[in-house]
Structure 1
Amino acid sequence: MAATTYTQEVECATPPARLFKALCLDNHNLFPKLLPESFKSVEFIQGDFKTVGSVKKLSFPEGHPYKYAKHRIDELDVVNFYSKYTTTEGDVLHGKYEHVVHEIKIVASGTGSICKLSTHFTLVAGATLNEEEIKVGQEKIKKITKTVDEYLVANPQAYA
Protein backbone atom coordinates (compact mmCIF):
# COMPACT_ATOMS: atom_id res chain seq x y z
CA MET A 1 0.00 0.00 0.00
CA ALA A 2 1.26 3.50 -0.83
CA ALA A 3 2.29 5.81 1.97
CA THR A 4 0.59 9.11 2.73
CA THR A 5 3.11 11.85 3.46
CA TYR A 6 2.83 14.92 5.65
CA THR A 7 5.53 17.59 5.84
CA GLN A 8 6.24 20.55 8.04
CA GLU A 9 9.05 22.99 8.67
CA VAL A 10 10.08 24.36 12.05
CA GLU A 11 12.25 27.48 12.26
CA CYS A 12 14.91 27.28 14.95
CA ALA A 13 17.40 29.76 16.38
CA THR A 14 20.09 27.08 16.76
CA PRO A 15 22.59 26.34 13.96
CA PRO A 16 22.16 22.97 12.19
CA ALA A 17 25.13 21.09 13.71
CA ARG A 18 24.08 21.69 17.33
CA LEU A 19 20.40 21.08 16.64
CA PHE A 20 21.15 17.82 14.81
CA LYS A 21 23.38 16.53 17.62
CA ALA A 22 20.71 17.22 20.23
CA LEU A 23 17.59 16.31 18.25
CA CYS A 24 18.85 13.28 16.32
CA LEU A 25 22.02 11.93 17.94
CA ASP A 26 21.42 12.44 21.66
CA ASN A 27 17.63 12.39 21.95
CA HIS A 28 17.86 9.22 24.04
CA ASN A 29 19.39 11.34 26.81
CA LEU A 30 17.79 14.70 26.12
CA PHE A 31 14.09 13.91 25.55
CA PRO A 32 13.41 12.35 28.98
CA LYS A 33 15.29 15.25 30.60
CA LEU A 34 13.50 18.06 28.74
CA LEU A 35 10.10 16.43 28.23
CA PRO A 36 9.44 14.09 31.18
CA GLU A 37 5.70 14.42 30.61
CA SER A 38 6.19 12.87 27.16
CA PHE A 39 9.17 10.52 27.59
CA LYS A 40 9.89 8.22 30.51
CA SER A 41 12.98 6.70 28.91
CA VAL A 42 14.69 6.00 25.61
CA GLU A 43 16.92 2.92 25.45
CA PHE A 44 18.75 1.10 22.69
CA ILE A 45 17.54 -2.46 22.14
CA GLN A 46 20.12 -2.98 19.40
CA GLY A 47 23.10 -0.85 18.36
CA ASP A 48 23.65 2.78 19.31
CA PHE A 49 22.82 6.34 18.29
CA LYS A 50 25.19 6.43 15.34
CA THR A 51 24.61 3.06 13.67
CA VAL A 52 22.13 2.43 10.87
CA GLY A 53 19.94 -0.53 11.79
CA SER A 54 19.95 0.32 15.49
CA VAL A 55 16.64 -0.01 17.32
CA LYS A 56 15.57 2.10 20.26
CA LYS A 57 12.56 1.79 22.52
CA LEU A 58 10.78 4.91 23.70
CA SER A 59 8.79 4.38 26.88
CA PHE A 60 6.12 6.90 27.77
CA PRO A 61 5.15 7.92 31.31
CA GLU A 62 2.01 6.91 33.16
CA GLY A 63 -0.92 9.03 32.01
CA HIS A 64 0.47 9.32 28.47
CA PRO A 65 -1.91 8.01 25.78
CA TYR A 66 0.68 5.42 24.66
CA LYS A 67 2.99 2.97 26.41
CA TYR A 68 5.89 2.59 23.99
CA ALA A 69 7.26 2.81 20.46
CA LYS A 70 10.22 1.17 18.75
CA HIS A 71 12.23 3.09 16.17
CA ARG A 72 14.76 1.66 13.72
CA ILE A 73 17.42 4.00 12.34
CA ASP A 74 17.32 3.63 8.54
CA GLU A 75 19.66 6.40 7.38
CA LEU A 76 21.97 8.78 9.19
CA ASP A 77 24.07 11.47 7.52
CA VAL A 78 25.80 13.56 10.18
CA VAL A 79 27.59 15.72 7.59
CA ASN A 80 24.35 16.81 5.90
CA PHE A 81 22.21 16.74 9.07
CA TYR A 82 19.78 14.10 7.82
CA SER A 83 18.13 11.27 9.69
CA LYS A 84 15.53 8.72 8.64
CA TYR A 85 13.94 6.27 11.05
CA THR A 86 10.91 3.98 11.07
CA THR A 87 8.41 3.39 13.85
CA THR A 88 8.12 -0.39 13.60
CA GLU A 89 6.25 -1.34 16.75
CA GLY A 90 4.17 0.03 19.60
CA ASP A 91 0.70 1.17 20.47
CA VAL A 92 1.48 4.49 18.76
CA LEU A 93 0.72 2.64 15.51
CA HIS A 94 -2.92 2.30 16.64
CA GLY A 95 -3.13 -1.09 14.94
CA LYS A 96 -3.81 0.78 11.70
CA TYR A 97 -0.32 1.61 10.48
CA GLU A 98 2.08 -1.01 9.13
CA HIS A 99 4.83 1.44 9.96
CA VAL A 100 5.56 5.16 9.98
CA VAL A 101 8.73 6.56 8.40
CA HIS A 102 10.13 9.86 9.71
CA GLU A 103 12.69 12.01 7.89
CA ILE A 104 14.49 14.95 9.46
CA LYS A 105 16.65 17.31 7.42
CA ILE A 106 18.14 20.37 9.10
CA VAL A 107 19.34 23.21 6.88
CA ALA A 108 20.99 26.52 7.69
CA SER A 109 18.82 29.64 7.70
CA GLY A 110 20.46 32.91 8.72
CA THR A 111 22.16 32.29 12.07
CA GLY A 112 19.75 29.45 12.87
CA SER A 113 18.19 26.62 10.93
CA ILE A 114 15.04 25.14 9.50
CA CYS A 115 14.10 21.63 10.56
CA LYS A 116 12.30 19.97 7.65
CA LEU A 117 10.18 17.06 8.80
CA SER A 118 8.46 14.47 6.63
CA THR A 119 6.29 11.67 7.98
CA HIS A 120 5.15 8.79 5.75
CA PHE A 121 2.22 6.70 7.00
CA THR A 122 1.69 3.22 5.53
CA LEU A 123 -1.72 1.85 6.50
CA VAL A 124 -2.69 -1.76 7.07
CA ALA A 125 -5.33 -3.03 4.64
CA GLY A 126 -8.74 -1.51 5.30
CA ALA A 127 -7.52 1.23 7.67
CA THR A 128 -8.08 4.94 7.12
CA LEU A 129 -6.10 7.98 8.19
CA ASN A 130 -7.50 10.14 10.95
CA GLU A 131 -6.59 13.72 10.03
CA GLU A 132 -7.08 14.92 13.62
CA GLU A 133 -4.60 12.31 14.94
CA ILE A 134 -2.10 13.39 12.28
CA LYS A 135 -2.52 17.04 13.25
CA VAL A 136 -1.99 16.26 16.94
CA GLY A 137 1.11 14.21 16.09
CA GLN A 138 2.58 17.01 14.00
CA GLU A 139 2.02 19.49 16.82
CA LYS A 140 3.81 17.14 19.24
CA ILE A 141 6.78 16.86 16.88
CA LYS A 142 6.87 20.65 16.53
CA LYS A 143 6.77 21.04 20.34
CA ILE A 144 9.65 18.60 20.78
CA THR A 145 11.73 20.44 18.17
CA LYS A 146 11.00 23.86 19.69
CA THR A 147 11.72 22.61 23.22
CA VAL A 148 15.13 21.29 22.14
CA ASP A 149 15.85 24.56 20.30
CA GLU A 150 14.90 26.63 23.37
CA TYR A 151 17.14 24.46 25.55
CA LEU A 152 20.07 24.97 23.18
CA VAL A 153 19.53 28.75 23.07
CA ALA A 154 19.44 28.87 26.88
CA ASN A 155 22.53 26.61 27.13
CA PRO A 156 24.97 27.76 24.43
CA GLN A 157 27.69 25.36 25.63
CA ALA A 158 25.45 22.30 25.14
CA TYR A 159 26.27 20.29 22.01
CA ALA A 160 28.77 22.95 20.89
Structure 2
Amino acid sequence: MGVTTATHEFKSSIPAPRMYKAIIQDSPTVFPNFMPQYKSEIVQGDGGVGSILQTCFADEGNQVKVVKHRVEAKDPASFYSKYTLIEGGALSDNVESVVNEVKIDTAGDGCVVKAINHYHTKGEADKALIETIGQQTLGVYKAVEDYLLANPTVCAA
Protein backbone atom coordinates (compact mmCIF):
# COMPACT_ATOMS: atom_id res chain seq x y z
CA MET A 1 0.00 0.00 0.00
CA GLY A 2 1.24 3.46 -0.87
CA VAL A 3 0.17 7.00 -0.21
CA THR A 4 0.07 9.65 -2.90
CA THR A 5 -0.52 13.21 -1.74
CA ALA A 6 -1.86 15.96 -3.95
CA THR A 7 -2.20 19.60 -2.91
CA HIS A 8 -4.36 22.10 -4.76
CA GLU A 9 -4.68 25.79 -3.85
CA PHE A 10 -7.31 28.38 -4.62
CA LYS A 11 -6.83 32.11 -3.96
CA SER A 12 -10.02 33.96 -3.11
CA SER A 13 -11.08 37.50 -2.32
CA ILE A 14 -13.43 36.11 0.37
CA PRO A 15 -12.12 36.43 3.98
CA ALA A 16 -11.00 33.15 5.55
CA PRO A 17 -13.71 32.98 8.27
CA ARG A 18 -16.49 33.42 5.72
CA MET A 19 -15.00 30.89 3.28
CA TYR A 20 -14.51 28.33 6.08
CA LYS A 21 -18.10 28.77 7.18
CA ALA A 22 -19.39 28.28 3.63
CA ILE A 23 -17.17 25.31 2.73
CA ILE A 24 -17.08 23.44 6.04
CA GLN A 25 -19.71 24.54 8.53
CA ASP A 26 -22.66 25.48 6.32
CA SER A 27 -21.97 23.49 3.13
CA PRO A 28 -25.22 21.44 3.39
CA THR A 29 -27.23 24.66 3.13
CA VAL A 30 -24.87 26.76 0.97
CA PHE A 31 -23.87 24.31 -1.79
CA PRO A 32 -27.42 23.51 -3.04
CA ASN A 33 -27.82 27.19 -3.93
CA PHE A 34 -25.35 26.83 -6.81
CA MET A 35 -25.34 23.01 -7.15
CA PRO A 36 -29.02 22.00 -6.96
CA GLN A 37 -28.12 18.32 -7.40
CA TYR A 38 -26.12 18.41 -4.12
CA LYS A 39 -27.63 17.10 -0.89
CA SER A 40 -25.60 16.42 2.24
CA GLU A 41 -26.74 15.10 5.59
CA ILE A 42 -25.32 13.72 8.81
CA VAL A 43 -26.09 10.01 8.98
CA GLN A 44 -24.23 9.35 12.24
CA GLY A 45 -23.17 11.68 15.04
CA ASP A 46 -23.73 15.40 15.53
CA GLY A 47 -21.51 16.77 12.76
CA GLY A 48 -18.40 16.86 14.92
CA VAL A 49 -15.39 14.55 14.99
CA GLY A 50 -16.38 10.93 14.35
CA SER A 51 -19.59 11.86 12.53
CA ILE A 52 -20.44 10.32 9.16
CA LEU A 53 -21.69 12.62 6.42
CA GLN A 54 -23.44 11.36 3.31
CA THR A 55 -23.52 13.46 0.17
CA CYS A 56 -25.78 12.65 -2.77
CA PHE A 57 -25.45 14.02 -6.29
CA ALA A 58 -28.76 13.77 -8.15
CA ASP A 59 -27.26 14.90 -11.47
CA GLU A 60 -27.87 12.25 -14.13
CA GLY A 61 -24.51 12.94 -15.79
CA ASN A 62 -22.52 12.47 -12.60
CA GLN A 63 -20.86 9.04 -12.25
CA VAL A 64 -20.60 9.43 -8.47
CA LYS A 65 -24.04 9.25 -6.89
CA VAL A 66 -23.32 8.92 -3.15
CA VAL A 67 -20.20 9.43 -1.04
CA LYS A 68 -19.67 9.08 2.69
CA HIS A 69 -17.04 10.89 4.75
CA ARG A 70 -16.00 10.49 8.38
CA VAL A 71 -15.06 13.72 10.13
CA GLU A 72 -11.56 13.35 11.59
CA ALA A 73 -10.90 16.93 12.77
CA LYS A 74 -12.53 20.34 12.77
CA ASP A 75 -10.81 23.46 14.05
CA PRO A 76 -12.79 26.61 13.23
CA ALA A 77 -10.22 28.78 15.04
CA SER A 78 -7.52 27.80 12.53
CA PHE A 79 -9.92 27.24 9.58
CA TYR A 80 -8.94 23.58 9.28
CA SER A 81 -10.86 20.35 8.75
CA LYS A 82 -9.92 16.77 8.00
CA TYR A 83 -12.17 13.98 6.84
CA THR A 84 -11.83 10.52 5.30
CA LEU A 85 -13.71 9.27 2.26
CA ILE A 86 -15.07 5.90 3.40
CA GLU A 87 -17.56 5.07 0.63
CA GLY A 88 -18.02 5.98 -3.05
CA GLY A 89 -16.16 8.61 -5.04
CA ALA A 90 -12.52 7.85 -5.79
CA LEU A 91 -12.61 4.54 -3.89
CA SER A 92 -11.98 1.56 -6.13
CA ASP A 93 -10.18 -1.76 -6.22
CA ASN A 94 -6.95 0.26 -6.18
CA VAL A 95 -7.86 3.11 -3.79
CA GLU A 96 -8.63 2.03 -0.22
CA SER A 97 -9.27 5.46 1.28
CA VAL A 98 -8.77 9.15 0.72
CA VAL A 99 -7.95 11.48 3.60
CA ASN A 100 -8.87 15.07 2.77
CA GLU A 101 -7.61 18.12 4.58
CA VAL A 102 -8.89 21.64 4.01
CA LYS A 103 -6.84 24.52 5.37
CA ILE A 104 -7.85 28.12 4.77
CA ASP A 105 -5.23 30.80 5.38
CA THR A 106 -5.77 34.53 5.52
CA ALA A 107 -4.15 36.35 2.60
CA GLY A 108 -4.64 40.11 2.71
CA ASP A 109 -8.39 40.79 2.64
CA GLY A 110 -9.04 37.33 1.18
CA CYS A 111 -7.76 33.81 1.69
CA VAL A 112 -5.99 30.82 0.21
CA VAL A 113 -7.89 27.53 0.36
CA LYS A 114 -5.61 24.49 0.38
CA ALA A 115 -7.00 21.04 -0.37
CA ILE A 116 -4.55 18.32 0.62
CA ASN A 117 -5.66 14.84 -0.43
CA HIS A 118 -3.88 11.67 0.66
CA TYR A 119 -4.77 8.71 -1.59
CA HIS A 120 -4.09 5.37 0.12
CA THR A 121 -3.63 2.93 -2.76
CA LYS A 122 -2.99 -0.77 -3.16
CA GLY A 123 -0.77 -0.15 -6.17
CA GLU A 124 0.17 2.74 -8.41
CA ALA A 125 -1.92 5.88 -8.07
CA ASP A 126 -3.89 7.08 -11.09
CA LYS A 127 -2.26 10.51 -11.50
CA ALA A 128 -4.82 11.63 -14.12
CA LEU A 129 -7.72 10.78 -11.80
CA ILE A 130 -6.04 12.60 -8.91
CA GLU A 131 -5.55 15.70 -11.06
CA THR A 132 -9.15 15.56 -12.29
CA ILE A 133 -10.46 15.33 -8.72
CA GLY A 134 -8.22 18.24 -7.72
CA GLN A 135 -9.51 20.41 -10.57
CA GLN A 136 -13.11 19.53 -9.68
CA THR A 137 -12.44 20.55 -6.08
CA LEU A 138 -10.99 23.88 -7.22
CA GLY A 139 -14.08 24.36 -9.38
CA VAL A 140 -16.30 23.93 -6.34
CA TYR A 141 -14.24 26.48 -4.38
CA LYS A 142 -14.57 28.94 -7.27
CA ALA A 143 -18.35 28.35 -7.31
CA VAL A 144 -18.46 29.02 -3.55
CA GLU A 145 -16.54 32.25 -4.06
CA ASP A 146 -18.86 33.35 -6.89
CA TYR A 147 -21.93 32.57 -4.79
CA LEU A 148 -20.59 34.47 -1.77
CA LEU A 149 -19.64 37.47 -3.92
CA ALA A 150 -23.16 37.55 -5.36
CA ASN A 151 -24.72 37.10 -1.90
CA PRO A 152 -22.73 39.28 0.53
CA THR A 153 -24.86 38.43 3.59
CA VAL A 154 -24.47 34.63 3.27
CA CYS A 155 -22.04 33.28 5.91
CA ALA A 156 -21.13 36.88 6.78
CA ALA A 157 -21.82 36.67 10.50
Which bracket does the TM-score occupy, shorter chain normalised?
over 0.9
Hey, what's the Cα distance between the residues in 2 that align with 1:154 and 1:10? 18
- Segments of structure 2 that go 5 or more residues without pairing to the other structure are none
Contact 1:69 1:92 in 2 (8 A): no
TM-score (norm 2): 0.92
RMSD: 1.4
Once the two structures are superposed, the pairs formed by residues 81-92 of structure 1 within 5 Å of their partners are 81-92=79-90
How far does residue 91 in structure 1 lie from its aligned partner after superposition? Answer: 4.7
Letter in 1 for 2:61: G
- Residue among 133, 139, 143 paired with 2:135: 139
Do structure 1's residue 54 and structure 2's residue 55 form an aligned pair?
A: no
Counterpart residue number, 1:8: 8
Count of residues paired in the alignment? 155
Rounded to whole Å, the distance in 1 between the matches of 2:128 and 2:89 is 17
Structure 2 distance, partners of 1:123, 1:87, is 13
After superposition, give the CA deviation of every residue in 1:68-119 in whole Å (9 maximum; x if it has no partner).
Answer: 1100110000100000000011153133211100001101111100001100
Residue type at the aligned position of 1:114: V
Q: Which residue of 2 aligns with 1:129?
A: 125
Partner of 2:18: 18
Match of 2:103 among 102, 105, 130: 105
Which aligned pairs between 1:33-48 and structure 2 lie closer than 5 A? 33-37=33-37, 39=38, 41-48=39-46
Asked if 1:65 corresponds to 2:69, the answer is no
Q: Structure 1 CA distance, aligned partners of 2:63 and 2:4? A: 23
